Structures are given as C-alpha cells and as structure tokens.
Copies of this chain bind each other. A is one copy, B any other.
Amino acid sequence: MGKIARLIYAASEHSADLLYGCGFAAPDPFIWFETATGERGIIVSALEYSRALTEVHDGVTVYRQDQFVETGHPDAEALILAMAKKNAIKRFVVPESFPLGVAEKLRHHRIKLAVIDGCFFPEREFKVDDEIAPIRDALRLTTLAMYRATAIIGEATVNADNELIWQGRALTSEIVRAEINIRLIKGGGFSDSTIVAGGSDGSQPHNRGAGQLFAGQPIVVDIFPRMADSGYWGDMTRTFVKGQAPDIVKRAFNAVREARDRAKELIKPGAIPAEIHQFALECLKNSGFATGKNEKGHYGFFHGLGHGLGLDIHEAPRLSAANRIPLRGGEVVTVEPGLYYPEWGGVRLEDVVVVTENGCECLTECDTELET
C-alpha cells in the first residue's frame, strides 16, 4: 500500500507546517501537496512564481496556477481539483486547520479528505541541528534585546513620585518595547508583541503593558522575535525591579527561579510533560505561592509550564497538565513558570532548552537578576 496523498492550503507566513513543508514564505494562501508516491509540489500565483522558485526546499516542484487552470483567477478548489485529476488522487490527508469552506467544495466534487489527528509533520517536533542553529541565533538576538531593556531600566533615574525617568522623559512600557523591537530589527528579527508589563499589568500573563513604569514594582519583559531569514522564533522572559524590590516580589522571584531551574533538571527523554508541570506547580506552592481563583479571576501559576518552539511560537510539545506523552529527545521547549497576583503584579522567568540524550541543554544564555 502506498502513502496517502497530503494537502495543505494556507499562507506560509502563518502556517508553520506549510513553511516547514516547502520553505517558501508568503502572505497569501497557496497549495502544497504530496502525491502517494512522495512527489511534493506547490501551486502559486504568477505574482509569486519567480520568488517561489528561488526559495523552495530541494525536492519541492513549483507550479504556476496556469499550469493547472488556464483562465484568470482560479479558486483554490479549482486548482486542487485539477491537480488531483492530473495525479489521479481521490483522497488527501489534511491538517486540522484546513479551511472548511474549501473542504466542502472539494467533497462536493467527491474528493475525500481525512483530517490528521495532531501534527501534520510529526518530525517537526524533533529538531535537527539545522533547526537548532537558527533557534540559537534567535535566542542570541533575544538576549541582546533583553540587555537593551536592562540597560534602559538601569540608566533610568527615579523621581519623587517613584516614576522612572530616561533621557529626560517619563519611561513607559511603550518606550522600552520600542527600544527592544528596534534592537531586534537591527539583528534581523522582528516582534509585534513584546511584553513590557509593569505593576498590575504584569499580573495578566499576556498583557503587553502600557504607560508609566515605576520603581519598586516588578516589570515583566517577554521578548519573542521571529527571525526574518529563517522563520524560527526566540522566546525569553525576565522580570526586573528598579531599585529595591518589595519582600513579596523577592520571594516570588526566588520561588519562580527555583521552579524553573528544578523543572529543567527533570527534562529528559522519557519524562512526562504533565508531571514536570505539576512539579513546578508544587514547587511554587511549597515556596508559599498558592494557585487558585476568586471573584477577580485566577491567581498564582495558571498557565502551562512551557511550549515547543520552532517555526511556530507555540507548537508541540506542550509542557502542560494535559500532555502525558513522554519526551523523546530533540524537542525544543520553553520553561517558563510564573506567579501572578493582581495585588502586586507578576514574575515570570523563561528559558529555552533542547531535550538531549540524557537530559536537556539550555539554549538561553542570559543572566537572571531581579534588581537593576
């Protein structure tokens, strides 16, 4: 029995599977397919044809739309039908994210589609050296951007109202974020969502932060650039306090650092992500930081311990309470415990590790210091 033909229809700038499958980054959706005999191709518009030719992975054939449908502006389904007919394909395996609208039109023409359960390219979860290298590059740049943040907060002075002042003006989350993102651009990366969340903003894990920064309050800085050339992501979080940190923040910082570093020690082939997550949760609890919820929402440590990192910022495997599939080796994951309390803000510390033969190697090379 041969393989089953496979199909993706997506924009590779947003679909890591498609980018992995063909190497060609484009903002608009296009077709990727693999025949039962393993031949791979993409079908792109005239607009993208020449560029696609120069960027695709070896072994992927680039087709122009008019090689399948001669007239004007064919719909995706018309192109897929023509390609399927030419290759005598009646059934495709597609990713979970395959658009329902296209699926219904194909099924109307008796093309069978089977949704794959889980990863479309399972091998994407296990990084080879050619992938670890660009992730290291991304993390190296992330570190430089983090040092930029440290330098700015370090250079800032504090006025009588406890406000941070930098280069003669109020230092805001927006200014620090802009300086971080500029550093990323200079290094060939980009980020639209860098988090610089001071005080209570930091108690919401995905709050990007806004407005004046103050001394004596934690500032969560989470930097996750994508590299323009490779498409791989970096991801790192540190938490800073300008001046003297309140006792509760110091204790939370030490608890999170301990949870992060002890969790890393558990990461190795055979380890179960849910158990590592649970260990971190208990480690924080034993340090005096409970997790729960009240009328204001959740408090404590209420997100997963980490996530896979690669061509997607969040990919398999998750280090979460729900994932009981043992690690195998080759996975690149973040380890990012955090503590969040509306009363004083948040602390999160995030490194990236690759699972090795006997344990894991930390790919993040950046100090972990609270006061600056």
* Partner-B contacts on A (CB < 8 A): 13-14, 26-28, 45-51, 64, 66, 72-73, 94-104, 113, 115, 174, 178, 181-182, 185-186, 188, 190-193, 203-207, 226, 228, 293, 296-298, 302-303, 313-314, 320-322, 342
Q: Considering only CB atoms, which chain B residue lies closest to A182 in the complex?
A: B182
Find chain B residues with CB under 8 A from A207 CB.
50-51
Out of B96, B98, B206, which one reaches A27, CB within 8 Å? B206
Oligomeric state, in copies: 2
B190-A186 in contact (CB<8A):
no
Query: What's the nearest-Cβ distance from chain B to residue A122, in Å?
Result: 16
A303-B46 in contact (CB<8A):
yes
Query: What's the nearest-Cβ distance from chain B to residue A83, in Å?
Result: 18
Query: What's the nearest-Cβ distance from chain B to residue A219, in Å?
Result: 17
Find chain B residues with CB under 8 A from A115 CB.
100-101, 104
Find chain B residues with CB under 8 A from A191 CB.
190
Find chain B residues with CB under 8 A from A96 CB.
99-102
Q: Considering only CB atoms, which chain B residue lies closest to A322 in the complex?
A: B73
B47-A205 in contact (CB<8A):
yes
Q: Measured between alpha carbons, how far is A95 from B99 in the docked complex, in Å?
A: 9
Q: Measured between alpha carbons, how far is A296 from B50 in the docked complex, in Å?
A: 8
Q: Can you spell out 13 A-B residue pairs with CB atoms less than 8 angstroms apart?
A: A27-B206, A45-B303, A46-B297, A46-B303, A50-B204, A50-B207, A73-B320, A73-B321, A96-B102, A174-B188, A185-B185, A190-B190, A192-B228
